[in-house]
Structures are given as C-alpha cells and as structure tokens.
Amino acid sequence: MTTNRAADAAEDAKAIDVQGLRKAFGELEVLRGVDFSVARGEVVCVIGPSGSGKSTLLRCVNLLEEPSAGRVMVAGTDVTDPDVDIDLVRRRIGMVFQAFNLFPHLTALENLTIAQRRVLRRDRADAERIARANLERVGLSDKAAAYPAQLSGGQQQRVAIARALSMEPELMLFDEPTSALDPELVGDVLAVMRGLAQDGMTMLVVTHEMSFAREVADRVVFMDGGVIVEEGTPEQVVGAPRHERTRTFLARVL
C-alpha cells in the first residue's frame, strides 16, 4: 500500500470531515447531501432558518442521530463505521445545547465532576481540581457550591460549558447555546465562547448571533432545506451574501 504523507497530514488537520451526509426521518429528508469540514483550531458558525437541518447536522457528528448515508469523520475516526466505539469518540467531543441539562440535585462543582469520575475514572481530587479550573475559566469560581436553581440561565449555561470542558474535549459543538437566555444574559455566555475560540478550541457553533459569527467565526456556513447554500468568511457570507436565500434569511435576523 502506498502512503501519501501530505494527504494524511491534511486529513489529520481536520477535526470534522463530513461527506455526502444524508439524513431522513421516514419520508422527510432533513439533510440532503452535506459536505463540509472543520480544521483543528477553526471556529465555524452554522446559520440558517429553523428546520433547515442545523441541529440534525450537529447530532450526526456525534452520532446522536445515525446518518442515512455519507461519511462523518471526527479527528480521523469514521464515526459511521459500525466497528467504532462511539462512546470513545463522544468523549472527545464536548456538546452544549440550548437547554442546559444540568443535574438539578447536584451543585455546580458536582455537575462538573460526575462524568469525569464515572466516565474518565478520575479520582475525586483530580476531578475537583479540573472542575474548579473550568469554573474559573467561565467566570464562576464563586458558584461551585450553588445548585442550578440558584443560578441564572446564563450562569447555568456557563456551568454546562465548564462541564463539557472538564472532559477535555478535542472539539466543542454548540447548538444555539444562547437561544433560551434572556437578552441581558447572552453576552456573558458569548464572552466565554469567544475566550475558548481565542484559546484555540475547535468549535462548530449553530447560532443566530450574527455579531458573534462576524467577530469570532473563521468561517460561516449557511444552510437551508437540508443543504449548504453557501459558506465562506463572515465578511463573505454575512457581509456580502451571494445567494438570495442567504440575503432573505439575514434580512430577518440582522
């Protein structure tokens, strides 16, 4: 077998590589052939109208949904390979949803240590050290002992981000992380995400926050009707969209 080192290196540089991805729910074709990749350290924002398949795309990346066709590579591992240990792959991917999904009966600190201990088998001292470092990273050092109900929505979402970071993922997926928040709480969450981006985290972010996309994204992907209509730099896609569908969407959200 011949090896092509340059091609291997290029493949290696991709955190996510999606080719010919299709997903149907019964008769409904939600993803109709999606090709895109995210390089290591890159921040890609996915925008598009409700129902265009953005969440389904994210969920196919960590196999919360099983693709109907196509290939999804995550950090060089084909997650659609039936022999792959998907739990191992998922450990490398942090995911933050619109709903924070914190355990209500656990403190912020405990929410951050439980998966570290159960999944990664870290001992209590290590798990707590890492948890405290990540609470600090999201600006919540003083909330370690607080229960979710004692925190604002924005603080809960920052705890959810810190929880994902405590698993030390190679990449982070965000699905409309600020959509459930009161407007005055959105900025703190976006500031945390901006910090992660500056620290070099690979991020795939579904968002309606166009200012975030403009300032933080290396690339913006516009989806509509289960396909990528256009992608490019924020200046290209948000600043000077080429397609009518993109312009129509932006006119509604900007």
Q: Which residues bind ligand ADP (CB under 6 A)?
A: 25, 28, 30, 48, 50-56
Question: Look-up: residue for tokens 């603080």?
Answer: 155
Q: Find the shortest distance in angstroms from Cβ 24 to ligand ADP.
A: 9
The tally of CA atoms less than 13 A away on the side-chain side of residue 133 is 11
Residue 120 identity: L
**Residue 120 CB coordination number (10 Å):** 14
Q: Which of residues 21-80 bind Mg ion (CB under 5 A)?
A: 54-55
- Give the CA angle between residues 26, 28, 34 to the nearest 5°: 115
**Binding partner of residue 103 among ligand ADP, Mg ion, none, CB under 5 to 8 Å per kind?**
none
Task: Decide which of ligand ADP, Mg ion, none touches 177; Cβ closer than 5 to 8 Å per partner kind.
Answer: none
Q: Which is nearer to ligand ADP, 63 or 130 (CB)?
A: 63
| 247 alpha carbon, distance to own chain's centre | 25
Q: Which residues contact 62 (CB under 8 A, 6 or more apart)?
A: 74, 79, 89, 90, 93, 95, 173
Question: Shortest approach of ligand ADP to residue 219 CB, angstroms?
Answer: 18
CB of 234 to ligand ADP, least distance (A): 19
By residue count, the chain amounts to 254
202 binds Mg ion (CB under 5 A): no
Nearest residue (CB) to Mg ion, 55 versus 107:
55
**Closest approach of ligand ADP to the CB of residue 173, in Å:** 12
For Mg ion, the binding residues (CB under 5 A) are 54-55
